[in-house]
Chains A and B, each alone.
Chain A
Amino acid sequence: ETGVTQSPTHLIKTRGQQVTLRCSSQSGHNTVSWYQQALGQGPQFIFQYYREEENGRGNFPPRFSGLQFPNYSSELNVNALELDDSALYLCASSLAVGGRAGTDTQYFGPGTRLTVL
């Protein structure tokens, strides 16, 4: 059973550019959530995908978008990067059954460190 993996590990972009971050879910998981963790803060919920559909969104602008693929891997896309987008981006996968996601069994990846210059 493989864990949650994310790529790349680190990324440096400049203001205005676009970035795509990738997440491979734990085997058998059908739900992916993305979080942004700024320095010195806790993770902030960006959005969640369940069976390829967005299933809730936090307080993030539309330039943050996502995809979930049939194999349940996921992408986070950020357009028009701003300096404040510099953060650790975490994805977490879980298995939702009958409309309930396993909150306790939500496994986090190691994150992608994005730096915007």
Chain B
Amino acid sequence: DQQVKQNSPSLSVQEGRISILNCDYTNSMFDYFLWYKKYPAEGPTFLISISSIKDKNEDGRFTVFLNKSAKHLSLHIVPSQPGDSAVYFCAASRGSWGKLQFGAGTQVVVTP
């Protein structure tokens, strides 16, 4: 039962433009959402998070938006840079122990 879904397996964007990654979830008990970035041969690294009591969180070029009624979150990267080329995972957790449910990931390719 996939409770976190990323329906776009890949995204290609030009350098300098905005990248928008989407994620849907089904479990209304999730109260914390995260985005991770993964390069080949490395473990996922934390990018940005948002609590269910907020609808937006911003950190530099990265902004996460949460729409609880639609059970949808998105990650905006502005401007996109070549170093942003990686697989991005959306994850959700319930409670305070960080037991994460991940989506399948979106491969982002930033072209010059």
Q: Are A45 and B101 in contact (CB under 8 A)?
A: yes
Per the bound structure, the CA–CA distance linking A33 and B100 in Å amounts to 9
Nearest residue in A to B47 (C-beta to C-beta)? A104
For the complex formed, measure the closest distance between the CB of A36 and the CB atoms of chain B, giving whole angstroms: 11
Known A-B contacts A43-B89, A92-B43, A108-B43; A103 and B32 likewise in contact (beta carbons under 8 Å): yes
Number of A-B contacts (CB under 8 A): 74
User: Which one of B62-70, B71-79, B102-110 is at the A interface?
Assistant: B102-110
Per the bound structure, the CA–CA distance linking A109 and B105 in Å amounts to 18
**Which B residues lie within 8 Å of A104 (CB)?**
34, 46, 49
Interface size on B, residues (CB 8 A): 25
Known A-B contacts A43-B102, A104-B34, A104-B49; A90 and B44 likewise in contact (beta carbons under 8 Å): yes
Cβ contacts B25-63/A at 8 Å (1 or 0 each): 000000010101000011111100100000000000000
Tell me, yes or no, whether B21 is within 8 Å of chain A by CB: no
Nearest residue in A to B96 (C-beta to C-beta)? A100
- Picked from A44, A48, A111, the residue with its CB within 8 Å of the CB of B43 is A111
Interface size grouping (class) on chain A: 20 to 34
Q: Are A43 and B44 in contact (CB under 8 A)?
A: yes
Per the bound structure, the CA–CA distance linking A43 and B4 in Å amounts to 11
**Which B residues lie within 8 Å of A4 (CB)?**
43
For the complex formed, measure the closest distance between the CB of A9 and the CB atoms of chain B, giving whole angstroms: 9
Within 8 A of B (CB), among A73-117: 90, 92, 94, 96, 99-111
Query: Chain A interface (Cβ within 8 Å of chain B)?
Result: 4, 31, 33, 35, 40-45, 48, 50, 55-56, 58, 90, 92, 94, 96, 99-111
